[in-house]
Chains A and B, each alone.
Chain A
């Protein structure tokens, strides 16, 4: 019976202009979103390629100079130009290595927070910092958001479901076919369910084929667990909206009322609930302004400068100098003090950071619980996570940089304090993130 109804639904819908319009809108918006995701991902890959080339060129040219120096082809006048000096290779000019959060394999799916968080940073002996590649992006673009696949899936897809499903029963009544249908020896609900299943199947097929076709085109590994998860969540999300349509269709209301109710649900779940939750979360766990935090950090720096002699003394009490006092050049003394101070500042600032992040984490945890109130929020957060452009992953840059900083310092500071100059063979040993 269901098959019989499905067959005639297909016949009816093929002759229906509405379905074709909806399909074209779905295909066009998916393509637009996909292209935007691709453009953003490409731009990031280009940036990374650019800085990596710069980085590689720097070390290649220093290696070249070192070889020339050893072969006696060039004379090095000053210590700060010596390609074998650990400081030259770790703290000066273009020295340093980039710690990177690569775009994930599903990056084209959602722009996520990639326009407000840095995705790479340079680690040097001092003054390591994340680089704000998106600093010059027009803030109005950030305000408006991106027309990416996540937008199409989370915001537009439900509207398409509503457009196809708001009047399944009411249109039968309004066009007069309902009474004939009711006089048939089949419960009208069976017919209704078949109609819903037909539209669910149809939209699922169109959406998934557009989505996966497009992703495949851009080389996204869709035949994976993540791809399966994506398909499953898209189906679940579609299912949720079709279920709403089904429930609305069980009532005896007119098409116009159905449309208003379903659209009202859309507004509520996508606009009102998220913004209200967001406001509540911010009111319960207000994040203090970074302005205060910035001055606190500065106070730590100032304190370290004042305590510098004490810090240096303590340090060398625990780490006896390996080079005889008289062999220590002036610059090393200055740099020793600077590095010891930087270590102290880093440690203290990390603590300040943790304290500052407490309300941030609390707000995040609250919203993580509250998001279950709105399937669109849930879906959006899933898509962002899958794309790898979620805040959690991007925020991790700080930690990755911190970890690499230790590795970097271990390598260079020990050599510096022993005044151990690098050989061409040592260049391969320079740590990379």
Chain B
């Protein structure tokens, strides 16, 4: 019986001219987005590889200088480019591409892509995510609404009821039918995506991420499938049903994300750069300054080191006191920066918490976060990169200070320099984004919330008031 009903549903959908037109339009947009996105990805990837190589050469060939001067000279880390940005650029266009790594300071990444784009780029960029987030739900709404209201207005629903099929079974068949059609429409998009993916010979993690990405959007579509069936079955007038669904779409995709941005920025304000740097400066002044011999903390440590080795002057120490002090200073500075940056990360987490708390109004914000997590273009991924680069910075500076401490001893001390032979032995920064895990990444809670939406939107379809409404038939308006 269910099979018969489903077959009928499919036939109805596939003969729908509107469906074909909308689907073809979306398909073209999708292909354009993947092709241009892939082109951008390739360009960025090769440019970042080039820049990374150049930056390393610049480090190695910086000339003879004191290792600590080299630490001030610094080097660059460039954000990795993943093929998944073709599908979900996420926050990447808004975050800086280059991170300057130097002694004493933790910089923030600079130069977002968006700064150099045209001023209207923020209307949105065509990407598969854009199509899944905005356009696919609309297609589902149009399909669901047309199907149900036409059944009711033509009286065919009552005809079927008269054959002894229960209203509940019919509605479930309609739901299953819409799921099936959505899956069929979604399939070509997945296939095209996979083909694009295969061009880059990706690792298994990339496939896994792509699978989670496609699944998260499919779950999101499910919410709209259920709501389309429920609303158009429950409301008498087809135009009111349609407008209500569009209203929900608006609320979920456009209004709520912006509104929540306003609210969470208001509730959990982050400090501006000036406040931040002053807070850092104040804390730094309380601690050790490896450069300034007159700093009281520095003087105290120097005296205790001298006393421990039983010598009168730093020159008599078996190591370079400057290198030693600089490293202690560096570690203190790192502590200060870590503390203040963690404070900001905490505020960002609270802001994201507001998104989760208000996701009852918007399955779209949930789906977007899931999709960004899957593609590795969310805030967490950005932080991962930042922490890796920071760990590298600390290690590099430590190595430089150590070199100074060990080698700039005795008569070597004055005018000590290191050159190419040393700098080329310094570690290089290599970053591979961590593989996708469900635990501890917030992924599980996002998925759970999305499933709650999915089930929560299915339940009201089974209400008796909906059955009654369908049995009564509807008006034409």
Contacts and interface: CB of A to CB of B under 8 A. Distances in A.
Interface of A: 32, 36, 39, 43, 46-47, 50-51, 54, 113, 116-117, 131-147, 151, 155, 159, 163, 167, 174-175, 255-256, 259-260, 263, 267, 270-272, 274-279, 281-283, 286-295, 298-299, 302, 305-306, 357, 360, 363-364, 366-368, 371, 377, 380-381, 384, 390-392
B370 to A, nearest CB: 13
A50 B91 contact: no
Contacts of B40: 282, 286
Contacts of B110: 132, 290, 294
A135 B108 contact: yes
A260 B242 CA distance: 9
Interface string B110-129: 11111111111111111000
A256 B239 contact: yes
A290 B98 contact: yes
A162 B136 CA distance: 22
Nearest to B142: A260
A301 to B, nearest CB: 9
B274 A295 contact: no
Contacts of B355: 140
Contacts of A279: 32-33, 36, 125-126
Contacts of B255: 147
23 contacts: A32-B262, A46-B272, A47-B274, A50-B272, A139-B379, A140-B91, A256-B239, A256-B242, A271-B130, A275-B126, A278-B125, A283-B39, A286-B43, A289-B48, A290-B97, A292-B54, A295-B76, A305-B63, A366-B118, A380-B120, A381-B119, A381-B120, A391-B119
Given A133-B273, A140-B91, A272-B29, A367 B118 contact: yes
Given A271-B135, A282-B118, A366-B118, 14 more contacts: A32-B262, A39-B265, A135-B108, A140-B355, A142-B91, A147-B261, A255-B239, A278-B126, A283-B36, A289-B43, A290-B98, A364-B118, A364-B119, A381-B120
B344 A145 contact: no
Given A141-B351, A295-B58, A174 B477 contact: yes
B272 A136 contact: yes
B339 to A, nearest CB: 14
A294 B76 contact: yes
Interface in B49-97: 50-52, 54-55, 58, 61-63, 76, 78, 90-91, 94-95, 97
A36 B255 CA distance: 14
B260 interface: yes
A363 B40 CA distance: 15
A136 B270 contact: yes
A270 B58 contact: no
Interface in B280-316: none
B361 interface: no
Interface string B338-352: 000000100110011
A381 B120 CA distance: 7
B216 interface: no
Contacts of B476: 174
Interface in B349-363: 351-352, 355
A380 B124 CA distance: 13
Given A43-B272, A135-B273, A298-B55, A278 B118 contact: yes
Contacts of B269: 43
From DSSP, what is the main secondary structure of chain A's interface residues? helix
Contacts of B138: 267
A273 to B, nearest CB: 9
Given A138-B348, A145-B122, A291 B275 contact: no
B118 A384 contact: no
Given A275-B130, A364-B118, A139 B382 contact: yes
A287 B121 CA distance: 13
B134 A51 contact: no
A290 B272 contact: no
Contact of B262 (A36, A175, A287): A36
B258 interface: yes
B94 A142 contact: yes
A255 to B, nearest CB: 5
Given A51-B274, A384-B119, A274 B258 contact: no
A214 to B, nearest CB: 16
Contact of A295 (B55, B113, B115): B55
A131 B273 contact: yes
A43 B33 CA distance: 37
B379 A138 contact: yes
**Most chain A beta carbons < 10 A, residue from B110, B135, B269:** B110
A65 to B, nearest CB: 18
Contacts of B48: 289, 291
Interface in B128-169: 130, 134-135, 138, 142, 149
A133 B258 contact: no
A390 B120 CA distance: 10
A290 B100 CA distance: 13
A235 B344 CA distance: 43
A289 B55 CA distance: 14
B448 interface: no
Nearest to A287: B116
Identify the 9 closest CB pairs spanning chains A and B, nearest first: A274-B123, A291-B51, A290-B111, A139-B91, A147-B258, A144-B257, A367-B118, A391-B119, A141-B261
A299 B58 CA distance: 7
B274 A50 contact: yes
Given A140-B91, A141-B351, A145-B122, A287 B271 contact: no
Nearest to A36: B262
B275 A371 contact: no
Contacts of A377: 120, 123
A326 B177 CA distance: 93
Interface in B440-477: 476-477
Contact of B379 (A39, A140, A260, A366): A140
Nearest to A255: B239
B47 A295 contact: no
Contacts of B243: 163, 259
Nearest to B145: A256
B58 A302 contact: yes
Given A136-B271, A271-B124, A141 B119 contact: no
A390 B266 CA distance: 23
B438 interface: no
Contacts of A380: 120, 123
Contacts of B78: 289, 291
Interface string B217-256: 0000000000000000000001100110010001000110
B58 A275 contact: no
Nearest to A270: B123
Contacts of A282: 36, 40, 117-118, 121, 125
B44 interface: yes
B111 A263 contact: no
